[in-house]
Amino acid sequence: MSTPADSKLLAWDETSGQRTLTVRGDWTLDNYVALGEQIACLRPEVGDSTAAQGNIDLTGLGALDTSGASRLYELLGGELVGKVSTSGSGLSAERRALLQTVAKAMEAAEQPARRRARGALIELFGRAGLALEAFWRELHTLLGFVGFTLEALGQSLFRPRRWRLTSVVAQIETTGLDAVPIICLLNFLVGAVIVFLGATVLAEFGATIYTVNLVTFAFLRELAVLLTAILMAGRTASTFTAELGSMKINEEIDAMEVLGLSPVNLLVLPRVLALLVSLPILTFLAMIAGILGGALVCALQLNISPAMFVSIFHDQIELRHFFVGMSKAPVFAFVIAVIGCLEGMKVSGSALSVGRHTTASVVHSIFVVILLDSVAALFFMEMGW
């Protein structure tokens, strides 16, 4: 039978002339709360010299389980529990083993986990390994989503009824037409800066006239498409991620899937197709704006008239440079749109997730664009284009 909760399970006995702590009754889960209250009252006196000498009477102890053993450890502490767990304490072997096991477990739980010290080199390689694993995982996900998008595009290409022309036109207006002012202004200013820098260096060699070649060559092959792609990565990829992320949080995408509609066909493909149309057009406008900015500075600062500028441009700059720059635009457009949509699809849970994935879409888009541009530059150089 269990001991009533209001009975004394702990008491001091001084009848023998020596103060002894008497433990009696059932130390089980049923009396766990009552034991905690009585221990709180007696704990300040248990650690004195009398109790430390081992004057503890356990002969009245009734039933004992792990909860009662934990209360004994709480009352006596590890040192006294070790004393009463010896063979001379009057406890059975089973109870001594139980006390020792519970004491070891509670001592281990009380000790803070010791973190194994690692060297700086091991820590460096560990972080590099984690970063490489994360990069590989992101690359694998991106390639899978690219394949999924291309599959959906191929299935819809020869089915005009599945084309979302209204959505595509609306996205072209948002991603292309609305971006024309900022694209033209930025490239115009960069073209002017390129001419200033080029003229400063070339003037020392008496070759100021070659500033025309520098600015036209740079914008036709590299700067126009690269600056436009970076701006679109910051402007459009983030928009795609925020839009799809908000729809994901509001469970609109889940509702589409429940209705048997494909989110890729409805949401991803219109954005990809719109950017495939917009980015080459914006790149062409960026080339014109950059060259006009350079021509203006040449006319005002270098005494190179617009007629002379156009004559040099016509005679010395080959058409292939224009095609080299324009060939990169569709690739950059596809990559930016896919990354922006992918990060939007990965949003889950909260507005914080939207912010994180929006940032990730911009960073990843710019990184991939610059990486592809570097690879393309090496390829064209080796091919002699």
Question: Rounded to 5 degrees, what are φ and ψ at 22?
Answer: -100, 125
3-state SS assignment for residue 331: helix
Q: Which of 69-73, 174-178, 193-197, 228-232 has the lowest mean pLDDT?
A: 69-73
Q: Which residue has the higher pLDDT, 264 or 232?
A: 232
Stated as kind and residue range, the H or E segment containing 62 is strand 56-64
Half-sphere exposure of 375 (CA within 13 A, CB side): 9
Tell me how far apart the alpha carbons of residues 136 and 214 are, in angstroms, rounded to a whole number: 39
- Is the CA virtual torsion 39, 41, 47, 50 positive or negative? negative
Q: Which residue has the higher pLDDT, 75 or 172?
A: 172
Tell me how far apart the alpha carbons of residues 76 and 170 are, in angstroms, rounded to a whole number: 77
Structure tokens that stand for 97 in this block: 């083993």
Structure tokens that stand for 75 in this block: 């009352």
DSSP state of 268: I
- Amino acid identity of residue 264, one-letter, is V
Q: What is the mean pLDDT of residues 360-379?
A: 90
Could you report the per-residue pLDDT of 39-64, keeping only the tens digit for each? 777 666 655 544 444 567 676 777 77
- 339, 361 Cβ separation under 8 angstroms: yes
- 190, 292 Cβ separation under 8 angstroms: no
- 347, 245 Cβ separation under 8 angstroms: yes
Return the pLDDT at 17.
Answer: 56
- Sort 27 into a burial class: Cβ within 10 Å, 0-12 / 13-18 / 19+: buried
3-state SS, 111-147, equals CCCCCCCCCHHHHHHHHHHHHHHHHHHHHHHHHHHHH
pTM of the model: 0.66
Q: What is the mean pLDDT of residues 339-365?
A: 86
Could you report the per-residue pLDDT of 235-251, keeping only the tens digit for each? 898 888 988 888 888 88
Looking at every residue in the chain, the average pLDDT score rounds to 81
Rounded (10°) angle between helices 306-316 and 269-301: 120
Straight-line distance from the first to the last Cα atom of the chain, in angstroms, rounded to the nearest whole number: 96
Tell me how far apart the alpha carbons of residues 342 and 137 are, in angstroms, rounded to a whole number: 13
Could you report the per-residue pLDDT of 156-184, keeping only the tens digit for each? 887 877 778 888 888 888 888 888 999 99
Distance of CA 75 to the CA centre of its chain: 48
Placement of tokens 């950017």 in the chain: 275
Q: Which of 78-87, 149-158, 251-260, 376-385 has the lowest mean pLDDT?
A: 78-87
- 162, 156 Cβ separation under 8 angstroms: yes
